[in-house]
Structure 1
Amino acid sequence: MKKYYLFVFLLVFSKKLSAQQNITTSVNRPKIGRSIFSNELKRNFSRKGDFFVMWGYNHSWYAKSDINFKGPGYDFTLRDVVANDRQTKLSWKYLEPSSLSIPQFNFHFGYFIKDNYSISLGWDHMKYVMDIPQKVKIDGHIDATVSEPGIPTGRYAGVYNGEMLEVGPDMLRFEHTDGLNYASAELERYDDIWVAYSQRTSLTMETGIGAGLVVPRTDAHLFDVGKNNYWNIAGYGVSAKLGFKFYILKGLYLQNSTKVGYIDLTKIHTTGRNDIDGASQKIKYIQNYTVLGFQF
């Protein structure tokens, strides 16, 4: 009979102990973000309060855009201009500390305000090069001499209303090659796709939106007059992105993302006579980038 009472006591005591453990575990368990994916294994830690920094390289594609050039004696718009980026050939420049900013790069650092939300500041260094020569439609007027002091325009002088014009190097060279710099603040959301049993390796989807200033250094020559201008705040940009982060270790990750963006530039430097000559354009782009990051 005593053995029976002892057995009942041990059974009740073990259930109380188990319940206390479950309560303690429930209280101490981090509140991790919900994932839109029904992954069976979830993280047992929270990323809230973590910082991160990342560096990598990008490749960009640009939609056709209109570019307006305006100054004394001219006001014309080139329609549906074709442009491309300018990738630096794969070399040791990608690893030399003194040359890290030469290729098209992305640098961002940020902070997790929640387990699955972060804010970040970053610098996307893209390059934009107008194809020369190319045939485009042109609207507006070009006088025999433009700007002050006067620059002769030769065969390009005239009044235009949608005619096709072959733009040659004697008329224009136009590129943002040092570069088309997008300084932005971004808000990101994360959804775990897969988490390893070790909790050290995982695959996460990132989505985000951003906005910021565009600071190009424009190398422009209009009718053989111009310069590689200094950086200036020429406009603004907005963007949205989708990417995937593979955590190699709990803090080290490799990320590939695609960003779509819109840029409105109203104060582009051209001939170097910035008080009288200038250009404006709106650019739509797609950017893909791969970065290596560390979270701490």
Structure 2
Amino acid sequence: MKRTSILIFALLLGRKLNAQENIAKLTPTVEIGKSLFSNTSKRDFSRKGKVYIHWGWNFSWYDRSDITFKGPGYDFTLKNVTAKDRPSKISLDYINPAQLTTPQFDFRFGYFFKDNYSVSIGWDHMKYVMDIPQKVTIDGYINPSVSNPGITTGNYAGIYKNQQLEVKDDMLTFEHTDGLNYVSAEVERYDDIWVAKNKKQMLAMETGVGAGFVIPRSDVRLFGVGENNFWNFAGYGVSIKAGLKFNVTRKLYFQNVTKAGYIDMDKIHTTGRNDIDRAMQTIRFLENYTAIGYQF
């Protein structure tokens, strides 16, 4: 009788252990990325496999830049050119669906391939406006008549060897205002800073690197001739970024990010005679944007 009881107990215990092992095998493991700010995670869910989308608005700042203009009868570089952005005034354009692309904006769509890493594609719609008038250094030459058909250059004609010149609007206006469009792919990392007890509100640091194409719509007048040119693939850009992401819920979030980048364009449209006239420019920029997003 005693042996029978022991055997029954052993069988029941074995079945219980097997059941627990099977349950453990069926229960998925939550893989949560390690944060730079903590050795232990306070989240009980993983972002892996989730997608997100966000929309926001930006301000941009530009370092001094060199711009080279080339075409029949001219080849000159304006050095250390200053410029600024042109944010739209606060109005209903920021929330009007028909006018959403009028202000300086940012759009991004991403996918978490790990809990704390994502890959995304996006569009940074910045604006670049050269300060006019301004004094710059000029190097190169300008003939009395340039382009084809000829454009008279007046008092700007000459050979320049790193001389000072005041650029006025009768010589040049130069803008990427519709806009300086940086279309890029980025890889991002997220590090939890704070997680609420309810596991819904949280604050994380986001860092990332990106690269992509620059597709400006350049509004240029060279010696009075030009147009608001059509969009074109003018060059490439690279960037790094860092910012904060605050989740109001697990899905809804707000984000503020600062991005530093380098743009190289060698096919900028100028007079509208794109087969003969063009400009080249490199731009170092700093951009800050605030966005609202949703994680699915």
Establish whether TM, by shorter chain, passes 0.5.
yes
Separation (CA, whole Å) in 1 of partners of 2:120 and 2:41: 28
Give the 3-state SS of the residue equivalent to 2:206 in structure 1: strand
Shift of 1:118: 0.5
Give the 3-state SS of the residue equivalent to 2:250 in structure 1: coil
Q: Output aligned runs, 1:67-216, within 5 Å.
A: 67-216=67-216
Separation (CA, whole Å) in 1 of partners of 2:39 and 2:87: 38
Separation (CA, whole Å) in 2 of partners of 1:218 and 1:144: 25
Residue deviations 1:117-142 (CA, integer Å, cap 9, x gap):
10101000000000000000000000
Separation (CA, whole Å) in 1 of partners of 2:207 and 2:91: 31
Instruction: Tell me if the contact between 1:178 and 1:217 (Cα under 8 Å) persists in the aligned partners.
Output: yes
Instruction: Tell me if the contact between 2:34 and 2:40 (Cα under 8 Å) persists in the aligned partners.
Output: no
Shift of 1:40: 5.8
Shift of 1:39: 6.7
* TM-score, scaled to structure 2: 0.92
Separation (CA, whole Å) in 1 of partners of 2:274 and 2:30: 56
Separation (CA, whole Å) in 1 of partners of 2:195 and 2:25: 20
Greater shift in the superposed pair: 153-162 or 32-41: 32-41
Give the aligned partner of residue 6 of structure 1: none
Give the aligned partner of residue 3 of structure 2: none
Instruction: Tell me if the contact between 2:32 and 2:41 (Cα under 8 Å) persists in the aligned partners.
Output: no
1:267 equivalent to 2:263? Answer no
Greater shift in the superposed pair: 36-45 or 133-142: 36-45
Give the aligned partner of residue 283 of structure 1: 283
The amino acid across from 2:290 in the alignment is T
Shift of 1:38: 1.6
Give the 3-state SS of the residue equivalent to 1:30 in structure 2: coil
Shift of 1:56: 0.4
Shift of 1:42: 1.4
Residue deviations 1:242-273 (CA, integer Å, cap 9, x gap):
01100001100000000000000000000000
Give the unaligned 5+ runs of structure 1. 1-8
Separation (CA, whole Å) in 2 of partners of 1:186 and 1:29: 28
Instruction: Tell me if the contact between 1:29 and 1:44 (Cα under 8 Å) persists in the aligned partners.
Output: no
Separation (CA, whole Å) in 2 of partners of 1:115 and 1:81: 44
Instruction: Tell me if the contact between 2:140 and 2:159 (Cα under 8 Å) persists in the aligned partners.
Output: yes
Instruction: Tell me if the contact between 1:39 and 1:194 (Cα under 8 Å) persists in the aligned partners.
Output: no
Give the aligned partner of residue 44 of structure 2: 44
Shift of 1:28: 3.7
Give the 3-state SS of the residue equivalent to 2:69 in structure 1: strand
1:59 equivalent to 2:59? Answer yes
Residue deviations 1:119-178 (CA, integer Å, cap 9, x gap):
101000000000000000000000000000110000100000111000000000000000
Give the unaligned 5+ runs of structure 2. 1-8
1:241 equivalent to 2:232? Answer no
Q: Superposition RMSD on alpha carbons, in Å? A: 2.1
Residue deviations 1:79-126 (CA, integer Å, cap 9, x gap):
000000001011111111100000000000011000011010100000
Which 4+ stretches in 1 moved above 3 angstroms? 23-29
The amino acid across from 1:104 in the alignment is Q
Instruction: Tell me if the contact between 1:218 and 1:268 (Cα under 8 Å) persists in the aligned partners.
Output: yes
Give the aligned partner of residue 225 of structure 2: 225
Separation (CA, whole Å) in 2 of partners of 1:293 and 1:29: 27
The amino acid across from 2:249 in the alignment is L
Give the 3 Å change call, closer, same or farther, for CA 25–34 of structure 1 in structure 2. farther
Separation (CA, whole Å) in 2 of partners of 1:290 and 1:201: 18
Give the 3 Å change call, closer, same or farther, for CA 285–105 of structure 1 in structure 2. same
Instruction: Tell me if the contact between 2:34 and 2:41 (Cα under 8 Å) persists in the aligned partners.
Output: no
